[in-house]
Amino acid sequence: MFTGLVEMVGTITRVAETPAGRELRVAAPFDDVRDGDSIALNGACLTVRSCGLDGDGGWFTVAAVDTTLARTTIGAWREGQGVNLERAMRLGDRLGGHLVLGHVDALGTVVATADTADAWLVELDLPPALVPLMVDKGSLAVDGVSLTVNALRPAGVQLSIIEYTRRHTTLGTLRPGDAVHVEADILAKHVARLLEPRLGAVAPAASTALRGEAA
């Protein structure tokens, strides 16, 4: 489990096809990563296969299987690309963001961006199944970053990215047409599932995303 507070942006230094899946080697100066640890890369929880230290600092490898590749953007990742990193939270840690599972519900699409006096607005289209789970001023994770819904749109949401987040995550590089990992708030998903028999055509659509599109 994660909080959606990105610890750092790591750099992919190697991509290889292996029997375990598409293996990524990521450079990141973590000094306490262990084999078997869970780390979220752009919000997708993956398992550390190997790790170590070299002259340039720390590194670790993870592998994405076919199911994960089909439901995320990981298949398009290349050497030199930056990725948002967060290690699994410890019990007792401050929960500065919101509870994030690291299970990508679907891909969203950036449709517009705009600078304002104190923030950067990002318009995001979502699959129809996820739209009912969005709440004004509610939480969602985008590429592993805990964000607050700034406004609801018919096909998605508007996000307001503060200057700090823009500088310390990969969100500052987003452009129209980019695909991003989206994880809806766990509370919204469970409530929708529980109310499914009473909500007619709305909740079943949402629950389809939960059952069939999570990474």
Q: How many domains does the chain have?
A: 2
Question: Residue 77: is its pLDDT beyond 60?
Answer: yes
At residue 204, the pLDDT reads 41
Query: Is the residue at 101 inside a domain?
Result: no
Query: Measured between alpha carbons, how far is 37 from 48 in angstroms, rounded to an integer?
Result: 5
CA 179, 123, 105, 202 torsion: positive or negative? negative
The 10s digit of each residue's pLDDT in 8-33 is: 999 999 999 999 999 999 999 898 89
Query: Is the residue at 100 inside a domain?
Result: no
Indicate whether 110 and 192 sit together in one domain.
yes
Q: Single out the residue in 36, 57, 87 at which a domain terminates.
A: 87
Query: Is the residue at 166 inside a domain?
Result: yes
The 10s digit of each residue's pLDDT in 37-65 is: 999 999 999 999 999 988 778 999 999 99
Indicate whether 194 and 118 sit together in one domain.
yes
What residues are paired with 139 via a beta bridge? 148
Q: Quick one: tokens of 190?
A: 């469970």
The 10s digit of each residue's pLDDT in 192-214 is: 888 888 766 444 444 444 333 34
Query: Is the residue at 99 inside a domain?
Result: no
Query: Is the residue at 141 inside a domain?
Result: yes
Q: Single out the residue in 28, 60, 87 at which a domain terminates.
A: 87
Query: Is the residue at 164 inside a domain?
Result: yes
The 10s digit of each residue's pLDDT in 81-96 is: 999 999 999 888 888 8
Query: Is the residue at 2 inside a domain?
Result: no
At residue 199, the pLDDT reads 67
Question: Residue 131: is its pLDDT beyond 50?
Answer: yes
Indicate whether 25 and 68 sit together in one domain.
yes
Indicate whether 112 and 24 sit together in one domain.
no
pTM value surpassing 0.85: yes
Edge-to-edge order in the sheet of strand 82-87: 44-47, 38-41, 82-87, 8-18, 21-27, 57-64, 50-54
Query: Is the residue at 92 inside a domain?
Result: no
At residue 200, the pLDDT reads 64
- Per the structure, the complete domain to which residue 50 belongs is given by 8-87
Residue that the structure tokens 């503060």 belong to: 162
Indicate whether 76 and 113 sit together in one domain.
no
At residue 174, the pLDDT reads 95
CATH of the domain at 25: 2.40.30.20
The 10s digit of each residue's pLDDT in 137-151 is: 999 999 999 999 999
